[in-house]
Each structure stands twice: as C-alpha cells, then as structure tokens.
Amino acid sequence: MAVLVQKKDLLEAVQKAFPVIPSKSSLQILSNFKLSYSNSVFEVAATDADHSLRVIIGAQGSGVFDVTVNARKIFEIVRELPEGGVTLDLDGTVLLMESEKGFSCKIAGAGSEDFPGFPEIGSGAEFDIHASTFHEMVRKSGFAVSRDESRAALCGILWEVAPDRTGMVATDGHRLGSSFIDTPFPVIESISKIISQKGVSTLVRITDPKNQDDVVRVVLGEKYVSFSTSSFNMVSRLVEGQYPDYTKVIPRNNPKIIAADRLSLLEAVRRVSVLSSNKNHLVRLIFKPSVMDAVVMNRDIGGEAKESVNIQYDGDEHTVGFNGMYFTDILDIIKTKNVRLEMNTQISACLVFPVYEDEKDKKSEDLFLIMPLRIMDEV
C-alpha cells in the first residue's frame, strides 16, 4: 500500500489545495485533505462544501490508498520536508510519512466515507478557454467585486458567454470593471452566470497565464461550474440570484472627453491621496484646457496637497471628486500608455478607457467606471 511521491510534487499539490480549506467550519471533516492513490495517480482533495478541488500528481505504488488527514498539519509538514522522495503509507487510518533523507512521522487520520463527494454538474455548456484569457478578464473586473454580503449577486463576477464573444463584469455600486473578447465559443445561445470570488481566485491561483498551452476545460451548469486540466479538477457553486443590469449605469452622453498620460495621472493622484481623508479618500480633479489639477484638503490633519498634470482637453472647467484609491486602482489595472476619461456632470459616472497607439494591440474591449463623490466646501 506504500506510495512514493516527490516532495516538490506533493508540496505543489497541497499548496494549491490548502486555500480551499475553510478557516472555520462546524464539520470537522472539512478541515481535512482527502489523500488517495490508484493506478499511478495520487490525489489531494479539499472542499468547503461550496468549492471542491482535486489536484493530481504522479506517484508509484501498489494497491489503493485512501484517507483524510488534517490539512494544516499536512501542509506544514510537507513544506518542511527535505527535497527528494517521500513514502506515504497507512496503518488503519494513521498516515505514515517517511522522507528518503531520514525524516518520519505519524498523523492520525479518518476514513473518507464522510468526506463530501464532488457535486454532479449535469448538463451544461462545455468549452475550452486559455488560462491567460481567463486571468486577464478576472484582473480587469475582479477588483470591483462587492464585499457587501447583503447583495449576494454583487459578491461574484458575472461571466457572459455567447457564440462569438465572452467577457466578465463586476461592480460594487461605486466602481465597475468589464472586459470582453471576440472569439468563437461552442454554445448555441448566450449564457450569463455569476462565479463566486473564491472560485475565480482559486482558478487564477492554480493556473499559469504565461503558459500559452495552459488550456482549461469549462462546464457551466445550472448550479455549478467545473474547471479542469490534466492536473486538477475544480467544482464551484454558482452564486444564485439575478445580476443587476449593469448597462443601465453606463452613461451614453459624455461631452467632456479628456486624454492623458496614464502614469502621470496615476502618480499625481497617488501622491496627493497620501493626505486625503481616511473616511472617503476624496481627491478633487479640476479639469481645465490642457491641464488637470489634483487637489486634496484634509481638515482633520490640517493638510492639503496639489499637483498639476498636462492633459488633452479643450472644454469648460470641470471639477469632480473621486475616491483616490478607487481611481488609482483602475489606472493600475490599465497597461496602455494613455487613457481616455469621459464625463458629463459632477454627479454622473466617469468612464475610463485604455487608449491604444495601434489598434492591432487591442486584444479586448475594456471599460472601467467610477462614481463621483460629493464635493463639500471643506473636507
């Protein structure tokens, strides 16, 4: 029954699976990894009942191996093991670990009969997506996921899949991020599902966007979504509820259009924000022909700051207030040299777009939105 695995492979597996383990749970079994072996395949499984992950690594052994063991202790032990082979064996439900370098230990485990099985996805849309594409859509939308659990739908990312297009959107009511790409998908009709933040972040963490061959198989069912490759399988419960019609908050009439160097704008707002209020991080942006002033006044600490940035704008003077942290988050996410801002009034949403010097460099259609803050005479 002994199984031989390499420490680096085992460590990679438990590192991927451990964040799925819930920090608190009334079910003791959810604090365990399920370790199993069959036909030269060793699996490390973890679940919090809503998200289940199974990581697969190569191993050598005979027979069948199956036990559940405290995940934190396994993770801590494997992390400290010396490099090389590790032999795993069972004495009833006691896990025996022995490194080829001389370390050995025993950990009391439990049977796997009470460990939750993977949910059945049932019928659903099936398609492949490159990890790099998934990462980019999440990066440009996930920052705006709401933390307000009273609005459950906004605590996830809306994933829209159509026969010729896919994209993700997230908003917390104060800001919005969206990214869409035009590419064919083997679906008959458009699908909209809300993916949980934990499900999305887990997939981002265990896939490599730099590996162009890293392709993920997706099955979008009614209640669950499955992500799988040759090295893992993850099933995540979809967020229930109707996602608000985000298109209604995107203003269409925006006569005030500003073009600016992204880094200059980012650095100016970031610098003056140091003196902004901790309550709302208010920064005034005053747009005048060819120049923008970023201004902060903070009565609580008796501080004020101002920095001017050259811009392209030829309209009337326009003053608007933003949460400086939210604004710089968006500018950080955008990677183009220049950005375009579109606005109307002091109380209407501001749209932020990346500006491409060559349209051939445009791989996706990205839109960011930030709601203004009320400007008081004194902050």
What residue segments make up the domains of the chain, in order of their start?
Answer: 3-108, 125-247, 250-370
Give 379's pLDDT tier (boundaries 50, 70, 90): very low
Quick: pLDDT tens for 225-273. 999 999 999 999 999 999 999 999 999 889 999 999 999 999 999 999 9
pLDDT confidence of residue 238: 96
User: What whole-number distance in Å separates Cα of residue 59 and Cα of residue 76?
Assistant: 21
Q: What is the mean pLDDT of residues 171-194?
A: 94
Using DSSP bridges, classify how beta strands 65-70 and 32-38 pair: parallel, antiparallel or unpaired: antiparallel
Q: What pTM does this model have?
A: 0.91
Assigned superfamily of 3-108: DNA Polymerase III, subunit A, domain 2 (3.10.150.10)
Answer whether 3-108 and 125-247 agree in fold: yes
Q: What is the mean pLDDT of residues 132-142?
A: 96
User: What whole-number distance in Å separates Cα of residue 321 and Cα of residue 376?
Assistant: 9
User: What whole-number distance in Å separates Cα of residue 278 and Cα of residue 171?
Assistant: 22
How confident is the prediction for the chain on average, in pLDDT? 93
pLDDT confidence of residue 376: 64
* Per-residue pLDDT at 377 exceeds 60: no
pLDDT confidence of residue 371: 96
Quick: pLDDT tens for 265-296. 999 999 999 999 888 999 999 999 999 999 99
* Per-residue pLDDT at 42 exceeds 50: yes
* Per-residue pLDDT at 299 exceeds 90: no
Q: What is the mean pLDDT of residues 290-305?
A: 91
The fold for domain 125-247 equals DNA Polymerase III; Chain A, domain 2 (3.10.150)
CATH architecture, domain 250-370: Roll (3.10)
* Residue 328 DSSP SS3: helix
Q: What is the mean pLDDT of residues 303-317?
A: 95
Quick: pLDDT tens for 75-118. 999 999 999 999 999 999 999 999 998 899 999 999 999 899 88
CB 287 within 8 A of CB 312: no
Which residues, including other chains, have CB under 8 Å from residue 83's CB and lie 6 or more apart? 7, 8, 101
Q: What is the mean pLDDT of residues 303-330?
A: 95
Tokens of 38: 């069959």
pLDDT confidence of residue 24: 85
* Per-residue pLDDT at 68 exceeds 80: yes
Give 64's pLDDT tier (boundaries 50, 70, 90): confident
User: What whole-number distance in Å separates Cα of residue 374 and Cα of residue 320?
Assistant: 8
Q: What is the mean pLDDT of residues 301-308?
A: 91
pLDDT greater at residue 149 or residue 168: 168
Provide the sign of the torsion angle of the four alpha carbons 142, 143, 149, 153, taken in this order.
negative
* Per-residue pLDDT at 378 exceeds 90: no
Q: What is the mean pLDDT of residues 345-366?
A: 93
The full DSSP string for 42-92 is EEEEEE-SSEEEEEEEE-EESS-EEEEEEHHHHHHHHHHSPSSEEEEEEET
Describe the chain by its helix, strand, coil percentages, rounded to 5: 20, 40, 35
Largest CA distance in the chain: 79
